[in-house]
Amino acid sequence: MRAVWILPLLGSLIAGFEFFNSLISATSAPQQAAGAAMAMCWAVLPYVFARAAEGLSQAQAPSPMLPATRETKG
C-alpha cells in the first residue's frame, strides 16, 4: 500500500509548482484564484485516491479483533 502514497507526494510537488507559477504569471486576482484552485486539485485528488485505496484494502482484510464464531445446532 506504500506505492499508492507516491501519488500524493507527486501531486503535492506539482501543486506547489502550479501554485507559484500561477502567482508569478497571473495578471489579476481571478487568475490567481483559478491557479490556486487548480493547485488544490493537484494536491487533494491524489490524496483522496490514496485514502480510498487504503480504506478498501483495510476493509477487505479480516479484523483480528472479531473472533470467528460458529453456530451450533442443538
**39 near 19, Cβ under 8 Å?**
yes
Question: Does a structural domain hold residue 64?
Answer: no
Question: Does a structural domain hold residue 73?
Answer: no
Note the pLDDT of residue 16.
95
Question: Does a structural domain hold residue 52?
Answer: yes
Predicted confidence (pLDDT) per residue in 52-67, tens digit: 998 888 777 666 665 6
Predicted confidence (pLDDT) per residue in 37-50, tens digit: 999 999 999 999 99
Question: Does a structural domain hold residue 71?
Answer: no
Question: Does a structural domain hold residue 65?
Answer: no
Domain, as residue range, for 20: 2-59
Q: Which residue is listed with cell 501554485?
A: 19
Question: Does a structural domain hold residue 28?
Answer: yes
The tally of domains found in the chain comes to 1
Q: Is the pTM of this model over 0.75?
A: no
Question: Does a structural domain hold residue 66?
Answer: no
